[in-house]
Amino acid sequence: MQELEKDPEAYHYIEVMACPGGCVGGGGQPIPTTDRIIAKRIAGLYGIDDDATIRRAHENPLAKEFMEQYISSLSAIRII
């Protein structure tokens, strides 16, 4: 926040994470949310990620194909 106060014009967008446990404990999650439930969700998500064949979006063959076919120009990237 101190950096923002020094030069607010330097930023176009600021994202703040304030949910306990990050997004997995956030407002969009089913209720009730207790620390135990959040810990189980985190463990489940890490387990799914560990088992995933594709773990990074930029390595996804479908995403690569889409980018190559439809978003190959700089002007198209700016639209996104």
pTM tops 0.75 = no
Q: Considering only residues 69 and 80, tell me which one the structure prediction assigns the higher pLDDT.
A: 69
Q: Taking the CA of residue 26 as centre, how many other CA atoms within 13 Å lie in the half-sphere pointing to its CB?
A: 7
Q: pLDDT-based confidence at 77, cuts 50/70/90?
A: low
Q: Quote the radius of gyration of the chain (alpha carbons, Å).
A: 19
Which residues form the domain of 13? 2-79
Domain total of the chain:
1
The number of beta carbons lying within 10 Å of the beta carbon of residue 24 is 20
Q: What is the pLDDT of residue 73?
A: 67
